[in-house]
Amino acid sequence: MWHCLVFLKESMYLAIKKMNMDLNLAVLIDGDNIPSAYVKEMMEEIAKYGNPTIKRIYGDWTNPRLGKWKNVLLENAITPIQQYGYTQGKNATDSAMIIDAMDILYSGKVNGFCLVSSDSDFTRLATRLREAGMQVFGIGEKKTPNPFIVACDKFIYIEILKKDEEEEDNAVSAKNQKTAKSNVDRITAKEIRLIASTIDDVADDDGWAFLGDVGSLLQKKQPNFDSRNYGFQKLTPLISSIKSIEVERREDSKGRKKLIYVKMAEKPKSRSAK
C-alpha cells in the first residue's frame, strides 16, 4: 500500500511539473521599471516554467534612459513596443501593457503570463488573468509591493537571478561576494513557522510529508517563497539547514530515485521538577 501511495505522489508531481513546462507564456516587461542588466538571467528563469512564445517590452524608446536596452532586446528576441508619455509625470506604459495583456488573453494563444515589473499598478491585471484561468508569474525587485506579489501564482525577485560576471572564471571579487551576500535574506522564526505549518498540513499520520507537496503548498501560501532568497539553490538544502526538521530519503517504487520526506522533529520532553 505504501509503495502505491509513493508511486501515485511521484506520478502526480511529475505530471504537474511537465504540465508547467508545456505552458505557452506571454512575457510582458515594464521597461520603465526593470533594469536591463537582469534580462539574460530573467529569460533563462522564465524558460524553466514554460515556452515564452510572446516577448514584449513597453517604454518610451525616444527617452535616452532606455538606450541600454537595445542590444539586450536583439540578443533575446524581445519586441519593443513604443509608448509615448502623453503627460509629464504620468506612466503611459502601464496602460499599454494592460491593454495588450487583455488582447493576448482573448486571442487564446497562451495559457500563462509573466509580468515583469515592480509596480503595484499591475495587481489588478494579475488577478484578472488568474480569474480567466491563466497561470501568472511575476518578476520584480525586492521593493515590489506585497499586493502585486500575492496576486501572482509565483513571484521571483530579480536580485537572486543576477550572476556575478566573474563566476565563470571562478574568481569572484570580495566586493561581488559582499553584494551577493547582501541580497540573501536570513531565515527567521516566521519562515520556519510557515514551513512547519505547511509540513503539518500535508503530513501523514506519522508526521512525514513528501517534500514536493510541501514545496507546492508553500508556493500557494506565499508566492514569493523561494529557497534562493535565503542563499540555497534548492528547497532540500534549505529544509536540511533547519535543525527542527528531520529529512528522510526514500527510494521510489522502482528503486530508481530518492524521494525526500520531511518531518518536524519532536521536542525533547522537559524533566519534571522533583
CATH of residue 114's domain is 3.40.50.1010
Q: Are residues 85 and 142 in the same domain?
A: yes
Q: Which stretch of DSSP H or E encloses residue 136? A: strand 135-140
Q: Are residues 197 and 222 in the same domain?
A: yes
| Domains held by the chain: number | 2
Cell of 205: 499520520
Amino acid present at 132: A
Rg, the chain, Cα only = 22
In a domain, 133, yes or no: yes
User: What pLDDT score was predicted for residue 201?
Assistant: 94
For the chain, what percentages of helix, strand and coil (3-state, to nearest 5) are there?
45, 20, 35
In a domain, 13, yes or no: no
User: What pLDDT score was predicted for residue 218?
Assistant: 93
In a domain, 11, yes or no: no
In a domain, 63, yes or no: yes
In a domain, 269, yes or no: no
Q: Are residues 203 and 158 in the same domain?
A: no
Q: Are residues 211 and 155 in the same domain?
A: no
The DSSP call for residue 211 is H
Q: Are residues 168 and 216 in the same domain?
A: no
Q: Are residues 107 and 169 in the same domain?
A: yes
Q: Are residues 101 and 144 in the same domain?
A: yes
Q: Are residues 66 and 163 in the same domain?
A: yes
Q: Which of 130, 155, 182 is the last residue of a domain?
A: 182
Q: Are residues 104 and 230 in the same domain?
A: no
**What does the angle CA 170 – CA 172 – CA 173 come to, to the nearest 5 degrees?**
150
**Residue whose cell numbers read 480569474:** 131
In a domain, 14, yes or no: no
Q: Which of 129, 151, 182 is the last residue of a domain?
A: 182
Tell me the residue range of the domain where 222 lies. Answer: 186-264
Q: Are residues 206 and 126 in the same domain?
A: no
Q: Are residues 46 and 165 in the same domain?
A: yes
Residues 27 and 52: beta-carbon distance below 8 Å = yes
Q: Are residues 211 and 106 in the same domain?
A: no
Which residues, 6 or more positions from 190, have their beta carbon under 8 angstroms from its beta carbon?
none
User: What pLDDT score was predicted for residue 66?
Assistant: 80
Q: Which of 136, 152, 182 is the last residue of a domain?
A: 182
Cell of 36: 536591463
In a domain, 1, yes or no: no
In a domain, 229, yes or no: yes
180 phi, psi to nearest 5 deg: -60, -40
Distance of CA 180 to the CA centre of its chain: 18
User: What pLDDT score was predicted for residue 134?
Assistant: 97
Q: Which portions of the chain are predicted below pLDDT 50?
A: 1-8, 11-19, 89-90, 164-181, 273-274
CATH number of the domain bearing residue 233:
3.30.420.610
Distance of CA 31 to the CA centre of its chain: 20
